[in-house]
Amino acid sequence: MNPRKDLITIDALSDEDIRTILDSTSAMKDIFTRSVKKVPALKGKSVLTLFYEPSTRTRSSFEVAAHRLSADVTTFTVSTSSVVKGESVHDTIDTLMSMKMDYIIVRHKNSGIPAVIARHCKASVINAGDGAHAHPSQAFLDAFTIKEKYGEVAGKRVVIIGDILHSRVARSTSTILRRLGAQVAYMGPGPLVPLQQHTGIPRFTNWDQIFEWKPDVIYLLRVQNERIDSPFFPAADYHAAFGVTEERLRRIDDLDLSIMHPGPVNRGVEICDAAMDYRNNLINNQVENGIAARMSILYHLTPETQSND
Q: What is the DSSP letter of 122?
A: S
Residues 30-84: tens digit of each pLDDT: 999 999 899 999 999 999 999 988 888 999 999 999 999 999 999 987 754 555 4
Q: Taking a C-beta distance cutoff of 8 angstroms, is the pair 272, 246 a contact? A: yes
64: closest CA among 95, 11, 105, 118? Answer: 105
Residues 262-298: tens digit of each pLDDT: 999 999 999 999 999 999 999 999 999 999 999 999 9
129: closest CA among 90, 70, 173? Answer: 173
Can you give the pTM of this predicted structure?
0.94
Question: By three-state DSSP, how is residue 140 classified?
Answer: helix
pLDDT at 82: 52
